Structure 1
Amino acid sequence: MIRTTKTLLFFLVAVLLFSCATKNKTEHKNPYNLPLVNSVKEYKKQVNEDATMELADLEKVIDNVVLDIRYATANNFTGEVIYQSPKAYARKPVAAALQLVQDSLASLNLGLKIYDAYRPYAATLKFYDVYPDTDFVADPKKGSRHNRGCAVDVSLVNLATKQELVMPTAFDDFSEKAHSTYIDLPEPALQNRAILIGVMSHFGFSVISTEWWHYDFNGWEKFPLMDLSFEELTN
């Protein structure tokens, strides 16, 4: 009886350990077999070999930046909390360029509001599941420039009040009005969008056609796709 109990206990422990190991292995899903950086060890190795690979905490490196990380709340197009932490990260050169943007805007008493920056690949899979339209969400077969730490979703705020300026639409609006060249808008919205596009372009960012808030950093293709959570980056 004792031997049977010990054997059963050993079996249960083995099953539990196998279950945990399997869970860890499948934590980072990659159904399209993309070349993803999905281990902290691999990420740190890349940073040691090339300092530009580091994902910088934008709240720490950009003066007076405002964060409104929608995917850390249910106030986004999925209606679900996607991120466990309201953080914004970007590659070191991207962060440095954003600080230059912020410095330039400060002369107009304006500043940046950041809705999203680096995005783990797991979130890209989730977004496509919810809204499978590649005009507005990244194709998970290719990955997103957000997954590379080289894209940011931003708006403008009054630097003194931290209130967002009038823009063409709300963030994550999937209508034609969100297009970066749409013109049937109130004059203040057109002017503010032009300021944002102009200053971002000056410091190396390109707006995409369907979203006035989305900017890709020039040279994004040099950086690999990643699927590390914010918590993994901070540990």
Structure 2
Amino acid sequence: MNYRNLLAGLAAGLLFYVQTGAELALAAVPKDAPKDIKYILGFYYGNGENILIRENNGRLELLYRTALGDKSFAAANLYPLSKVHFDSYTLQESGPMSNTEAGVRFERDPDGYGISCRVGGNTYSRYFLGTTTGERAKSFRLAERSAEDWAKLRAEAAKAAVPAALAAGEQAQLVDAATVAGVKVNSVYAGSDNLFGAPLYTTSKLFVSKEAAAALGKVQKRLAPYGYGLVLWDAYRPWSVSKLANLALSDDKKDMLEDPETKGSTHNTGNAVDVGLYSLESGEELDMGCGFDEPSLRQYASYAGGTSRERYLRSLLREEMELQGFKGIEMEWWHFEFGDCFKFAHLNVSNQ
């Protein structure tokens, strides 16, 4: 038997299998929805009810929320819409006790944004969120503070000390995230385009634990065949910055962040990251259904709205991150924690 030919044949077959698998994976990426469709996707409310319009593989679907506690609409009743013409559709409700059809009509403003949705005899008004394509709401910002006010808060945060209970534990070895090949660093809190409307960091550098950095590198390599890369919005956060953020929150918004005096943030350990995806070809960040730090129902990992492509990208990111030892959370689709963050000390070293 010619083992050389046999091995060559097996290698060729394996290469074909790998290439075919990659091609199939790439072929599964949903096409982006056209802009005129994106402009009517989102939340509508009326008659004490909430509905969500989403796109699914080129077709519109109406999700009717049956429980207010279902923040992500993951358990909502789903009704496919059949297009009649332009912004007119029909909704078919079929079941053992009924088989009815209702007309669905969208109304747009002069800029093309959907502003109302009429289902049968009921009219629902649009509720805009965020600034992604199809949404026209302003970016969420906390109450604006003066430069003098920020200076006082920074001074107070700098004087504070990490609580002993949080300072205990294993100390992570931090490395510059920019050293992870292919990972794009976009430190949101180094500038003013964030929910605080002011920089929290004095540098645009981001650091992460050595182990988490190695895992990010593996994720990056697996995403490359798709033409995607990781964009890092936040990583290690000095405890004093968490303290500053807490001080900047008004009393009615303190629950937006963990109390730095009792729980702190997993970002303080160097093992938590906030990430999204960007295009390796254009360098542009991809639309993942909502922007980083958007405080809305769209921030939930299981959010059922948006487009097929947006939901696919979120799922791909989560799958690849979790394969390399990260754990996602439901509250924020962009937040991931590597390993057991709680065995690590909350650090307060500068990220210069």
Category of TM-score, reference length = shorter chain? 0.7 to 0.9
Instruction: Confirm or deny: 8 A CA contact 1:58 1:89 kept in the other structure.
Output: yes
Q: Which residue of 2 aligns with 1:59?
A: 178
Q: Which residue of 1 aligns with 2:326?
A: 205
Q: Distance in 1 between matches of 2:182 and 2:209?
A: 19
**Structure 2 length normalisation: TM-score?**
0.52
- Please give the residue correspondences for 1:1-235 in structure 2 after superposition, counting only pairs within 5 Å: 27-30=158-161, 32-36=163-167, 53-60=172-179, 62-131=180-249, 133=253, 136-140=256-260, 141-231=262-352
Q: Which residue of 2 aligns with 1:20?
A: none
SS of the residue corresponding to residue 216 of structure 1 reads strand
SS of the residue corresponding to residue 240 of structure 2 reads helix
Tell me by how many angstroms 1:107 deviates: 1.6
Q: Distance in 1 between matches of 2:344 and 2:163?
A: 19
Where does structure 1 lack aligned partners over 5 or more consecutive residues?
1-23, 38-45, 48-52
SS of the residue corresponding to residue 309 of structure 2 reads helix
Tell me by how many angstroms 1:129 deviates: 2.5
Q: Which residue of 2 aligns with 1:8?
A: none
Coordinate RMSD, CA, aligned: 2.3
SS of the residue corresponding to residue 319 of structure 2 reads helix
Amino acid at match of 1:104: R
Specify the structure having the higher radius of gyration (Cα).
Answer: 2
Tell me by how many angstroms 1:88 deviates: 1.1
Instruction: Confirm or deny: 8 A CA contact 1:94 1:150 kept in the other structure.
Output: yes
Where does structure 2 lack aligned partners over 5 or more consecutive residues?
1-154
Q: Give a deviation string over 1:58-92, Cα, whole Å, max 9, x none.
A: 101x1121111011101111111111110111111
**Structure 1 length normalisation: TM-score?**
0.76
SS of the residue corresponding to residue 107 of structure 1 reads helix
Q: Distance in 2 between matches of 1:180 and 1:136?
A: 17
Q: Give a deviation string over 1:96-154, Cα, whole Å, max 9, x none.
A: 10000001111211100000000011111122233365764222121111000010000
Q: What is the aligned length?
A: 194
